[in-house]
Amino acid sequence: MEFTAKQIAELLGGKVDGNPDVRVHSLSKIEDGVPGTLSFLANPKYTSYIYNTQASIVIVNNDFTSEQVLHTTLIRVEDAYGAFAKLLEKYYEIKQVKPVVSEKASIADSATIGEDTYIGPFAFVGENSTIGSHVKIYPQVYIGDNVYVGDNTVIYAGVNIYCDCKIGNSCIIHSGVVIGADGFGFAPHESKHYKKVIQVGNVVIEDDVEIGANTTIDKATLGSTIIRKGVKLDNLIQVAHNVEIGENTVIAAQTGISGTVKIGSNCLIGGQVGISGHLTIGNDVKIAAQSGISKNIKDGEIIMGSPSFAIGEYKKAYVHFRNLDKHIKKLNDLVSYIKKKNDF
């Protein structure tokens, strides 16, 4: 599908500077632009590329001033980055699959399917499950019994959602995600044998949550593991049983959250963070990558290290650690000096 510069400018509320009839059919980075593609310039560091790019159209801010001859058509807007993001949304919508239910999908007779929903080949929907309207369920998705999936949610290929779980509206669940597997619960016996503790809870995911590829969220032993509204989870994250993650918290890849942890709202947690069980992490907390959390964290704290402590103290301690060899040499020199003095 092709669009002219004039059509794109009208969509974005921008102004064409160049040929309004030039056409594009795909998107590109400004440094890799080729004819027939559209790009954008928002970061001044990339300004030099606009003079050599082969992209047919480039979106720029209204205040952009050219210092050389341009070979591309410009679309001037108030916010080039925001405008390009809007175009990406439209581009994504165009590429979406049609709202049909494949004959090769397996859907229980007792399941309820909403309007304009896509269910791909070899997807499975269990007994008494409810799938909302405008949902997209890609091939080979497994949805167990008594599951609820809200409107406008996208579930990519290979996702497994166990029975009794609830997924909110406008969620995005990427390939390989497992929601509702058993929590890691085992009771030790005197014989050193571990007996499995049956997990009878579920997982509740509220609206506007995005879950990255191959992330796993275990169901609760009793009650619910809860992911609150607006949470964004990266790839390869482990969320254990009975965890609760507060609204709009963002967690980067390879983080592991042990059972019954309570994480507040608006937190930022870096990659490869490990959080011990039964802890409470307050609101607006920031945790640096690779930190090990073994105690509760108050609202607004910034934490770093393993075991973690306040980031200011950590940085001071790290300076001394980097200079530890010099300090030891000075100490040894001082010991040698004292010994020589005592010999006289």
> 45 — phi, psi (to 5°)?
-65, -20
Q: Which fold has domain 3-95?
A: 3.40.1390
Looking at residue 296, what is its pLDDT? 97
Looking at residue 89, what is its pLDDT? 85
Rounded CA gap, 132 and 137, in Å?
11
Rounded CA gap, 252 and 162, in Å?
24
Q: Which residues are known to be catalytic?
A: 241
Looking at residue 182, what is its pLDDT? 96
Looking at residue 344, what is its pLDDT? 52
Torsional class of 160: left (φ above 0), alpha (ψ -120 to 50), beta (otherwise): beta
Contact (CB, 8 A) for 338 and 322: no
Q: What is the identity of the amino acid at 276?
A: S
Stretches in the chain below the pLDDT threshold 70: 344
Torsion sign across C-alpha atoms 96, 101, 106, 107: positive
Looking at residue 309, what is its pLDDT? 73
Rounded CA gap, 252 and 212, in Å?
9
Residue spans of the domains in the chain: they are 3-95, 106-314
C-beta contacts of 153-162 below 8 A and 24+ residues apart: 157/120, 162/203, 162/219
CATH 3.20.20.70 fits 106-314, yes or no: no
In 82-171, beta strands by DSSP E: 106-107, 112-113, 118-119, 124-125, 130-131, 136-137, 142-143, 148-149, 154-155, 160-161, 166-167
Looking at residue 142, what is its pLDDT? 98
